[in-house]
């Protein structure tokens, strides 16, 4: 089956489970993380250190359902200031032998204004359902509209910030997707710093009664020194977190075993999944050595097992995210990781 069609069917299935009430029963009996997995990060308390990365639920359609499956947080998006269809199909490809995916989706979404009420409803739904208990938290990941010129990027991000920051538990500025032309140019310090300052200021202005944490998501393809410079800037600006990493444009040196002709035929796009594990962990360690405990680190890329999650936590991450492995591991994935994390910690005592 076409990978994008399979994804939409999977999303429909998750939402259907939620509507029938089966996943709510499962949340109480099986899926809910054990209280000992409670995690502090970015000034917030998460029911588990393991969450769903941005990209799976771009429009915030299945937030509550994913929370019922055991994810400690669900990061939706990437959402843009304007609605856009994304890149031409086909644009999502599985590399089954590598437990990997190549995508060039291009931030396909209905826009910030269309998603805002849906995110607000999901947040209210979770607050009502958990009734004072620790609920899954909602991150909102925002990016640049493709048709907006780079010189106008800040205002485009602020459009999304005004609508979505009040609905989110935390906000993420995405400057690292390879599928929007020029977007990664915003990772340069001279362009990234004013962007983050503007989003921070606007979020403070529009969110009343609380301070919303702000994180930036970076690419694995940055030079190590550029990662260090971004880390120093994040500390200087008082950011709450760095998410590392997004997908990679690299193919060589990634240890791919899939047919080379097939990879060539697929063409451009961001590679995610198992092959990204080594570089993602390397970037995490670089960041940790630079920032220490001054902000929270969220590690993503090549995460499949509870051992992978614990390895990232041991390397200095406060939170760990996954997405690609969900396509291969199935809907019990988050619950299984939570259960196995608990067992790992008991065995290591």
pLDDT tens column, 141-191: 999 999 999 999 999 999 999 999 999 999 999 999 999 999 999 999 999
Give the residue-averaged pLDDT of 280-308. 98
| Cα-Cα end-to-end distance for the chain | 45
145 is a domain residue: yes
Cα–Cα distance for residue pair 82/137, rounded to 1 Å? 25
345 is a domain residue: no
Closest residue by Cα to residue 299 from 194, 207, 220, 228: 220
> What CATH number has the domain bearing residue 266?
3.20.20.70
Domain span at 302: 3-330
Summarize the annotated binding site for substrate as residue ranges: 58, 103-107, 174, 179, 246-247
Is pLDDT of 12 > 70? no
Is pLDDT of 28 > 50? no
Residue 179, pLDDT score: 93
Looking at the annotation, which residues are catalytic? 177
336 is a domain residue: no
Is pLDDT of 209 > 90? yes
The string of pLDDT tens digits covering residues 253-292 is: 999 999 999 999 999 999 999 999 999 999 999 999 999 9
199 is a domain residue: yes
Q: Is 244 helix (H, G, I), strand (E, B) or coil?
A: strand
Asked if 85 contacts 96 with a C-beta cutoff of 8 angstroms, the reply is no
349 is a domain residue: no
32 is a domain residue: yes
Cα–Cα distance for residue pair 230/233, rounded to 1 Å? 5
Residue 62, pLDDT score: 94
Give the residue-averaged pLDDT of 97-105. 97
Cα–Cα distance for residue pair 103/224, rounded to 1 Å? 24
347 is a domain residue: no
93 is a domain residue: yes
Number of structural domains in the chain:
1
Residue 32, pLDDT score: 82
Instruction: Spell 7-38 as b/e; 16+ CB within 10 A means b.
Output: beebbeebbebbeeeebbebbeeebbbeeebe
Cα–Cα distance for residue pair 325/345, rounded to 1 Å? 22
* Residue 29 pLDDT grade (very low, low, confident, very high; cuts 50, 70, 90): very low
């Amino acid at each position: 089956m076409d990978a994008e069609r399979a994804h939409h069917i999977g999303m429909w299935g998750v939402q259907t489970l939620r509507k029938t009430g089966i996943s709510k029963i499962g949340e109480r009996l099986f899926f809910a993380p054990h209280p000992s997995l409670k995690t502090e990060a970015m000034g917030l308390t998460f029911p588990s250190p393991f969450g769903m990365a941005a990209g799976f639920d771009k429009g915030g359609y299945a937030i509550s359902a994913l929370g019922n499956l055991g994810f400690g947080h669900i990061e939706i998006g990437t959402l843009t200031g304007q609605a856009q269809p994304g890149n031409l199909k086909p644009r999502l490809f599985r590399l089954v032998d590598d437990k990997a995916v190549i995508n060039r989706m291009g931030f396909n979404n209905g826009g910030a204004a269309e998603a805002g009420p849906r995110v607000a409803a999901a947040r209210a739904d979770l607050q009502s359902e958990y009734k004072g208990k620790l609920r899954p938290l909602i991150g909102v990941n925002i990016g640049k509209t493709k048709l907006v010129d780079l010189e106008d990027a800040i205002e485009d991000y602020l459009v999304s910030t005004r609508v979505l920051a009040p609905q989110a538990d935390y906000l993420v500025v995405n400057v690292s997707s390879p599928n929007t032309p020029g977007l990664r140019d915003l990772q340069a310090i001279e362009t990234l710093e004013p962007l983050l300052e503007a989003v921070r200021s606007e979020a403070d202005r529009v969110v009343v009664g609380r301070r919303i944490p702000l994180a930036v998501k970076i690419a694995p393809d940055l030079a190590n020194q550029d990662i260090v410079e971004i880390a120093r800037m994040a500390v200087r600006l008082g950011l709450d977190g760095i998410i590392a990493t997004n997908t990679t444009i690299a193919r060589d040196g990634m240890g791919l075993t899939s047919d080379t002709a097939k990879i060539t035929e697929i063409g451009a796009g961001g590679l995610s999944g198992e092959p990204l594990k080594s570089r993602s962990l390397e970037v995490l360690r670089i960041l940790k050595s630079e920032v220490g405990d001054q902000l929270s680190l969220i590690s993503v890329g090549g995460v499949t097992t509870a051992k992978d999650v614990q390895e990232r936590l041991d390397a200095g991450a406060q939170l760990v995210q996954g997405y690609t492995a969900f396509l291969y591991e199935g809907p019990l994935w988050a619950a299984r990781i939570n259960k196995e994390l608990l067992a790992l910690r008991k065995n290591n005592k």
